[in-house]
Amino acid sequence: MDVKAYIESGIIESFVLGLTSPEETAEVQAMMLTHPEVAVAVNDFSASLEKHAFANATAPPSSVKKNLFDSLEDEFKSAPAPVVQLRQGQKNTWKYLAAASVILFIASAAMNVYYYNSYHNMQSSYENLLAEQSTMQANINIMQTKLHVLDTSMEMIKDPAMAVVPMKGIPGKEDNMATVYWDTHTKDVYVLENKLPQAPAGMQYQLWAIVDGKPVNAGMLGDCNGGLCKMKNIPKAQMFAITLEKEGGSPAPNMQAMYVAGKVS
């Protein structure tokens, strides 16, 4: 078993907070006996919870003591008391015992409030840590996906069979640029958006292959995670161009909305 992965799975925190099932509890206890690092992790998390509890402890409001005394006073007044003759020493002893009982009751109530607040704070902190861990893992997964796409794109670009067709911005839109990578063996077409404005809502970029002087739909540009967008298979073409069309594409290009174009060398 990967002990490090086991410790980082969250089972240690759940065990310390008493959230594990009987089977999980037995498993953690067995792991503590056979793997010292698990026992250390349990002790460390317990110590961190205790430190956090004392650092964030909330004292019970001052009204608690007054409310307790008022409640006890009302009960003493309403309850019938038997008449018992007490010697002077017994009277004093009864007073001390009554005072001690009240003090213990107040202390118990205060400790209950203290531990409840501490547990609530620890539970909130634990849930926040789990949420942050989930968010970080999701971001890591996204970055790993993008890196994989970029690595794959770089390998394809370096393939000698790839014909490179730079598409520069047309007059009035010179800042724009995109590149077509055309596999001369399979005739598959890929597009890299070097520099194109963000498509407005309801609009989408469309690639066209100019074949024998006629535009042929080569596919729509979508979210390619910063890598190559795979388009339609084009057996032959003399030129490629990109226009901005309604989302989903158009059967014919809007020449007024052309952004980039480039000839096949």
| Mean pLDDT on 85-89 | 52
Classify the C-alpha dihedral 46-121-119-31 as positive or negative.
negative
The pLDDT value recorded for residue 13 is: 84
Q: How many domains, in total, are found in the chain?
A: 3
CA distances from 78 to 71, 75, 83, 235 (A): 11, 5, 15, 100
Residues 179 and 239 in one domain: yes
Residues 187 and 142 in one domain: no
* End residue of a domain, out of 87, 120, 154: 154
Residues 259 and 167 in one domain: yes
Residues 169 and 120 in one domain: no
Report residue 185 as tokens. 């063996």
CA distance 259 to 244: 7
pTM for the model: 0.45
Residues 49 and 76 in one domain: no
The helix (run of H) or strand (run of E) holding residue 105 is helix 88-157
* End residue of a domain, out of 134, 154, 174: 154
CA distance 256 to 93: 102
Tens-digit pLDDT profile for residues 149-183: 455 556 666 777 888 999 999 999 999 999 999 99
Residues 95 and 46 in one domain: no
Residues 179 and 255 in one domain: yes
Tens-digit pLDDT profile for residues 8-31: 888 888 888 788 898 989 898 888
Residues 9 and 51 in one domain: yes
Upper half-sphere CA count for residue 205 (Cβ side, 13 Å): 25
Residues 48 and 13 in one domain: yes
CA distance 193 to 211: 22
CA distances from 147 to 30, 141, 196, 230 (A): 40, 10, 21, 17
Calculate ∠ Cα 132-137-142, nearest 5°.
125
Residues 126 and 195 in one domain: no
Residue numbers of the domain that contains 50: 3-55
The helix/strand/coil state of 102 is helix
Residues 21 and 105 in one domain: no
Residues 212 and 167 in one domain: yes
